[in-house]
Amino acid sequence: MKPINILIPTDFSKVSEQAFLMTELLSRKIPVKVNLLHVIEANSSVISENLNDVSNKLTIEKKEQEVLKQFDALHKAGRIFDPLLKTGLLTDQIHFTSLDIGVDLVIMGTSGASGFMEKVSGSEAQHVVRHLDVPVITLRPATSINNLENILLVADFEYFGKGIQIDLIRQIAEAFGSTIHLLQILKEEDEAYADQIEAQMKFFAEEHQLKYFKIHLYRDHKVTDGVKNFNRESEMDLVCIRTNGRKGLSHLLFGSIAERLVNHCQKPLFTFKLRESLHA
């Protein structure tokens, strides 16, 4: 089996440690290759100034040496990863690095409140998951990481085409013997189409060759509340949400709903695009 190529952005904090824990869980059933990325933050003008200013250049070099020591300490603690050190804007470097090394999955901790990794929460997290061509798992400090027996999948089930990124969800589910729970939040105006929506969900499961799955139509006034309430009642171990599309839930990562889910979801949150090709 080909290893999953994983990128973990890190600031070496306890929040970042969550990503390692998630990776360790995946590695119990699936071979993984881990790349650990630290970004020394600076915009292009600052980088240019540093190159021409000896004192600023020395400051950057000192930071680089500190990061290399952190990498070395993790290696000595038994962590297995390829270290990556970049200078630039955080989300840009995550994007560029994911392309450069061909990652299959980005896993990152997000505090959602304070600290360095706040930069990958809120609007920054939306930017990351919206523009990366690979799935992203975000984890909050209090996120419980369990054995992935139940995986929640929220998507626009009107889209019938096979999407390559559903393959990773299916691969994880099959490796862990997970049940994939397809969830559609029904608002009052959707009730008349409940049978049609359920048929679309069944077709989606067949089209994507899901092995073990269940279909759920959950009544709630808001999509976000419905996802959170269903998850709380059903104890899902991984929440998967599609991030783009022509309609339906495509707005999840284009407004306040995304910020609430990325920053407040108490389960690992797997965001993905449903498309035929990574270059589409």
Of 139, 160, 178, which one is at a domain's C-terminal end?
139
- The answer to whether residue 230 sits within a structural domain is yes
Range of the domain at 14: 4-139
- The answer to whether residue 187 sits within a structural domain is yes
Calculate the CA 140 to chain-centre distance.
Answer: 11
Tokens 């009052």 sit on residue: 188
Terminal-residue alpha carbon distance, the chain: 26
- The answer to whether residue 239 sits within a structural domain is yes
**Position with higher pLDDT, 158 vs 106:** 106
pLDDT confidence bin for 227, thresholds 50/70/90 = confident
- The answer to whether residue 132 sits within a structural domain is yes
Same domain, 87 and 179: no
Over range 228-247, report the average pLDDT. 78
Same domain, 194 and 230: yes
- The answer to whether residue 145 sits within a structural domain is no
**Position with higher pLDDT, 221 vs 151:** 151
Same domain, 35 and 123: yes
**Position with higher pLDDT, 108 vs 260:** 108
**Position with higher pLDDT, 147 vs 121:** 147
135: alpha, beta or left? (left if phi > 0; alpha if psi -120 to 50):
beta
Same domain, 181 and 129: no
Angle made by CA atoms 8, 38, 137, in degrees to the nearest 5: 20
Of 114, 139, 164, which one is at a domain's C-terminal end?
139
88: alpha, beta or left? (left if phi > 0; alpha if psi -120 to 50):
left
Same domain, 110 and 184: no
Q: What is the pLDDT of residues 50-83, one digit of tens each?
A: 555 556 677 788 899 999 999 999 999 999 999 9
Helix axes 90-100, 122-131, angle to 10 degrees: 20
- The answer to whether residue 174 sits within a structural domain is yes
76 exposure class (CB count in 10 Å sphere: 0-12, 13-18, 19+): exposed
Over range 178-184, report the average pLDDT. 95
pLDDT at residue 132 greater than cutoff 50: yes
Same domain, 123 and 171: no
Domain harbouring 247, CATH code: 3.40.50.620
Over range 151-165, report the average pLDDT. 71
Same domain, 170 and 88: no
143-147, 177-181, 204-208, 276-280 — most confident range: 177-181
Same domain, 191 and 81: no
Same domain, 46 and 120: yes
pLDDT at residue 248 greater than cutoff 50: no
Half-sphere exposure (Cβ direction) of 38: Cα atoms closer than 13 Å:
19
Report the distance separating Cα 76 and Cα 194, nearest Å: 55
Same domain, 243 and 157: yes
Same domain, 131 and 172: no
**Position with higher pLDDT, 46 vs 261:** 261
User: How long is the chain?
Assistant: 280
**Position with higher pLDDT, 229 vs 245:** 229
Same domain, 122 and 162: no
